[in-house]
Amino acid sequence: MASIDETIEIIRETPISSIVSFYHSIRKKGANFEGLCPFHGDTKPSLVVSDQKRIYKCFACGAGGDAIKFVMERNGLQFIDAVKEIADKIGIQVEETKKKASDPKFDMAIRVLKAANKLYRKVASERNPELYQEFLKNRKLNEDSVNDFEIGYATKNNMLVSYLNSIAKKEDREFALKVAVDIGIIRPSKHGGGYYDFYRDRVMFPIADQQGNVRGFSSRAVLPDQKPKYLNSGESYIFDKANTLYGFHLAKPHIRKQEMVLIAEGNMDVVALHQYGFNYSVGTMGTALSENMAKMLTNMTKSIYLGMDSDPAGISAMTRINEMFMVMGVLPKFIDYSPAKDPDDFLKEFGRIELLNRMETSAPFLDYIIEKAIPVPIPETVDRKLEILNEIFEFIAPLKDGLMAKEKAVEASKALGLKSSNEDIIEAYKEFLEGRKQKFSNKKFDKRAKPVPEQQFSRQLPEEKVFSEPVPPSDAPQELTKAEKVFLERILTHPECVQNEQILEILDLIDHFEVKGLIQWLKKIYLEIDENDYEILLQKKLEENFSRPVSDVIASAIFNHNKLKLETKIVEKLLKDFKTRAQVEKLRKKKRELTNLQRQCSTEEESFELLNKILEVEKQLRDIKYKS
């Protein structure tokens, strides 16, 4: 089962066209899909659905948003109900639990891990330790790989403990140290008080979640007598191995673009694969892969390559993972690295082209295990052949009684030299499935419950804020004016505009609290975000409870966003025009209000006073038009 947050992430990674097509007819046109818009009386296709941008957009009525918004609007559902509706369509079971409020312990863990990663990177880039350089040289890692995967170095001098001890506020310092111990990145000293760094004299590989937040570390020893060779983060409330794929945050766009994914084992194999151009590669943490992660991958692509180590542990892991994908109707292919034992060694010895050739000629992993199940020489007795066939039926069973399963059953019987007809083999396979079904229905399984992490904490961590959140006043106009709409869409499409000093002057002229809040949010985060993550952040904003017009503007901005930045002089002109337009709109609104008040005046004195104010507003309007 998946939590609501995990389900939302899976939906986000599923091509929006496949979700929209459950509810509405669309057809492929170029890189996108199009169809009649269901939100107005459309007579010619105005709806565009973009898998690349992960949004829909109607160019007639302006409706737009992500997959969840589409289902909300079309079916009249609340957010959570729409998530559950989509989950049911794509085969995800959702936990019936409410979304938990922000957890101070979890938030602090993220901050501690982020700080640790910065320290390890700083040591690696500025001090350039000899052992670190020697490791990179021996593994033939180039600068791009080191930077992309943020490979760092932990010294032996307790630098993380020193950093955490430098936190000025006592309660924050003690809380940070406690959390760091909980997640295993520092340890309490056995000799007296104090703490020491868990990772010492090691090359550090940060393990990130799908958004790029560090959740743990994998480390490699660099000294001859260091044990163990690999030392990794343990399971905790911040790190779940089975729901983590190493390098997935980097591979996501390439998996979508190339429409394939290569699953390797371990961080070094993934780094090597990316370095050689196989940037759609991800790595399991150990040999674990959860059903949720498998489902997420199959929603992104049906072309899956299993490329884990060729040792017994790797084959065993691939067998489990292969079965998981087969249940989902996908037949992963198997990459044979022999005579090498893993992709890192293979690439160093044979190179990129040979690995591409191996991938092009690769067969399903199911074929590999069936071939291994048939002994050489083949037994002569029919009884033994039938025993082997039943063993092979077990491998095929996750495909149930589909056409592919029947084909594989017949192929296996022929490979064993059985003389039975295809119909008899298929019938025997169906009987096997029935017997298997009966066998499993009579079993009772005890599901091991995972320990529930602490969720209740009495105090909230202080958080640095650049702007206070805008609160809608009781008389705030909720209608989005034309100027506000154009302004918001242009700024969200070209976020670099928020760095211009004119933006604060324009914000003072805007009344709509949602528009003001979005621009303040963007100004706060702009310098901290990776440009490649900007559209993802906007898509997450669509999940918030904005009014329909503002949501449509956000969707338009995602659709039109271009990474090419505007020249400074164009930004200046753009913002100057917006400022003028906002001033004019604000003055016109003021004039309308004064005119309405004048009509209601009971005395000439009041009317004359208001007339003077109206004339002053008209003068200000003329001055603005003259200056522009």
The whole-number average pLDDT for the span 8-37 is 90
Given a cut of 60, whether residue 461 has pLDDT beyond it is: no
Given a cut of 80, whether residue 528 has pLDDT beyond it is: no
CATH class of 242-369: alpha beta
The whole-number average pLDDT for the span 226-247 is 89
pLDDT in tens, 277-314: 999 999 998 777 888 888 889 888 899 999 998 888 88
pLDDT in tens, 257-273: 899 999 999 899 999 99
pLDDT in tens, 204-223: 999 998 888 999 999 999 99
Percent of the chain with pLDDT over 90: 44
Given a cut of 90, whether residue 355 has pLDDT beyond it is: yes
Q: Are β-strands 281-284 and 47-50 bridged in parallel, bridged antiparallel, or unpaired?
A: unpaired
Cβ(56)–Cβ(64) under 8 Å?
yes
Rounded CA separation 427/421 (Å): 10
Given a cut of 90, whether residue 118 has pLDDT beyond it is: yes
Percent of the chain with pLDDT over 70: 91
pLDDT given at position 353: 97
Tell me the backbone φ, ψ of residue 561, rounded to 5 degrees: -60, 135
Residue with tokens 């390797």: 264
The whole-number average pLDDT for the span 314-329 is 91
**H or E element at residue 221:** strand 214-221
pLDDT given at position 540: 80
The least confident of 271-275, 343-347, 380-384, 597-601 is 597-601
pLDDT given at position 131: 93
Q: In what order do the strands lie in the sheet with 27-29?
A: 27-29, 32-35, 47-50, 55-58, 64-65
pLDDT given at position 476: 45
- Omega prior to 104 cis, within 30 of 0: no
The whole-number average pLDDT for the span 109-138 is 93
pLDDT in tens, 537-593: 888 887 777 888 888 888 888 888 877 778 888 888 888 888 888 888 888 888 888
Rounded CA separation 442/521 (Å): 56
pLDDT confidence tier of residue 469, bands split at 50, 70 and 90: very low
| CA separation, residue 582 to residues 80, 126, 518, 592, 596 (Å) | 37, 48, 17, 15, 21
For 557-571, the DSSP string reads HHHH--SSPPPHHHH
Given a cut of 70, whether residue 447 has pLDDT beyond it is: no
Strand partners, 387: none
Token digits of residue 464:
């640095």
| CA separation, residue 623 to residues 47, 468, 502, 503, 567 (Å) | 43, 34, 19, 22, 29
Strand partners, 306: 263, 334
Given a cut of 60, whether residue 452 has pLDDT beyond it is: no
pLDDT given at position 478: 59
Residue with tokens 């001890």: 165
Cβ(239)–Cβ(215) under 8 Å?
yes
Given a cut of 90, whether residue 163 has pLDDT beyond it is: yes
pLDDT confidence tier of residue 437, bands split at 50, 70 and 90: low
> Could you tell me how far CA 257 lies from the centroid of its own chain?
15
pLDDT confidence tier of residue 249, bands split at 50, 70 and 90: very high
The whole-number average pLDDT for the span 91-117 is 79
pLDDT given at position 406: 93
Cβ(526)–Cβ(498) under 8 Å?
yes
Rounded CA separation 405/223 (Å): 51
Given a cut of 70, whether residue 470 has pLDDT beyond it is: no
Which residues neighbour 338 within 8 Å (Cβ) at sequence distance 6 or greater? 310
Rounded CA separation 385/418 (Å): 7
pLDDT given at position 352: 96
Is residue 599 packed enough to be buried (19+ CB in 10 Å), middle (13-18) or exposed (0-12)? exposed
Token digits of residue 100:
């938990």
pLDDT confidence tier of residue 441, bands split at 50, 70 and 90: very low
Cβ(437)–Cβ(400) under 8 Å?
no
pLDDT given at position 94: 80
Rounded CA separation 175/520 (Å): 30
The least confident of 44-48, 62-66, 95-99, 597-601 is 95-99
Rounded CA separation 65/530 (Å): 22
Token digits of residue 37:
């818009």
Q: What mean pLDDT, rounded, does the chain reach?
A: 85
| CA separation, residue 573 to residues 149, 579, 623 (Å) | 39, 10, 19
Rounded CA separation 584/562 (Å): 29
The least confident of 95-104, 219-228, 231-240, 453-462 is 453-462
- The verdict on domain 4-90 having CATH code 3.50.50.60 is no
pLDDT given at position 457: 34
Helix (H, G, I), strand (E, B) or coil at 329: coil
pLDDT given at position 96: 63
Given a cut of 60, whether residue 443 has pLDDT beyond it is: no
Q: Where are the alpha helices (DSSP H) in 328-402?
A: 343-350, 352-360, 365-373, 382-396
**What CATH number should be reported for the domain whose range is 104-239?**
3.90.980.10
Strand partners, 57: 48, 64
pLDDT given at position 98: 47
Is residue 620 packed enough to be buried (19+ CB in 10 Å), middle (13-18) or exposed (0-12)? middle
| CA separation, residue 347 to residues 102, 140, 273, 351, 448 (Å) | 44, 11, 8, 4, 40
Given a cut of 80, whether residue 472 has pLDDT beyond it is: no
Which residues neighbour 398 within 8 Å (Cβ) at sequence distance 6 or greater? 323, 326, 327
Cβ(287)–Cβ(317) under 8 Å?
yes
pLDDT given at position 559: 82
The sign of the CA dihedral 236, 237, 240, 246 is: negative
Q: Detail the DSSP E strand segments found in 76-160.
A: 152-154
Rounded CA separation 61/610 (Å): 40
Q: Are β-strands 261-265 and 281-284 bridged in parallel, bridged antiparallel, or unpaired?
A: parallel
| CA separation, residue 563 to residues 271, 371, 493, 494, 560 (Å) | 26, 50, 9, 8, 10
